[in-house]
Amino acid sequence: MERIRIAKPWISNLEISYVQDAVSNGWGEKCYTYIKKLEKRFSEYLGIKHAVATSSCTGATHMALVAMGVGAGDEVIIPETTWISCASAVIYAGANPVFVDIKEDTWCIDPDKIERAISPKTKAIMPVHIYGNVAEMNEIMDIATKHNIQVIEDPAEALGAEYYGRKVGSIGGCGVFSFHGTKMATSGEGGMFVTNDDELFNKFSVLHDQGRVSEEKRMFFPHHIGYKYKISNLQAALAYAQIERIRELIQKKKEIFNWYSQSFSNFDNVKLNYQQKYAKCCYWMPILIFDKPINIDQSGGLIEHLDNHGIDSRPFFYPLSSLPMFPKQQQNSVAYDLCKRAINLPSPFCITKEEVNYVSKMVMSFLNNSN
Residue ranges and CATH numbers for the domains of the chain are 13-100+109-244 (3.40.640.10), 246-370 (3.90.1150.10)
- The span from the CA of 245 to the CA of 263, in Å, is 28
Judged by average pLDDT, the poorest of 157-171, 270-284, 286-300, 320-334 is 286-300
User: 298: pLDDT confidence band, cut at 50, 70 and 90?
Assistant: low
Q: What pLDDT, on a 0 to 100 scale, did the predictor assign at position 338?
A: 95
Residue 353, amino acid: K
User: 327: pLDDT confidence band, cut at 50, 70 and 90?
Assistant: very high
State percent of the chain over pLDDT 90.
94
Task: Name 280's bridge partners.
Answer: 162
67 CA to centre of own chain: 20
Residue 292, amino acid: K
> What's the pLDDT tens digit per position in 214-256?
999 999 999 999 999 999 999 999 999 999 999 999 999 999 9
| pLDDT above 70: residue 295 | no
Q: What pLDDT, on a 0 to 100 scale, did the predictor assign at position 253?
A: 98
> What's the pLDDT tens digit per position in 107-121?
999 999 999 999 999
- The span from the CA of 223 to the CA of 262, in Å, is 58
183 is annotated as an active-site residue: yes
> What's the pLDDT tens digit per position in 328-353?
999 999 999 999 999 999 999 999 99
- The span from the CA of 241 to the CA of 179, in Å, is 12
Determine which one of 113, 167, 183, 280 is catalytic: 183
**DSSP H or E run through 289:** strand 287-290
User: 315: pLDDT confidence band, cut at 50, 70 and 90?
Assistant: very high
| pLDDT above 60: residue 299 | no
- The span from the CA of 330 to the CA of 246, in Å, is 39
Q: Please name which of 83, 105, 106, 111 lies closest in space to residue 97, comparing C-alpha atoms.
A: 83
Burial class (CB in 10 A: 0-12, 13-18, 19+), 10: middle
The Cα angle at residue 281 between residues 84 and 289, in degrees rounded to 5? 65
DSSP 321: G
| Section 203-216 average pLDDT | 96
Alpha carbon distances (Å) from 220 to 213, 214, 217, 224: 11, 12, 9, 12
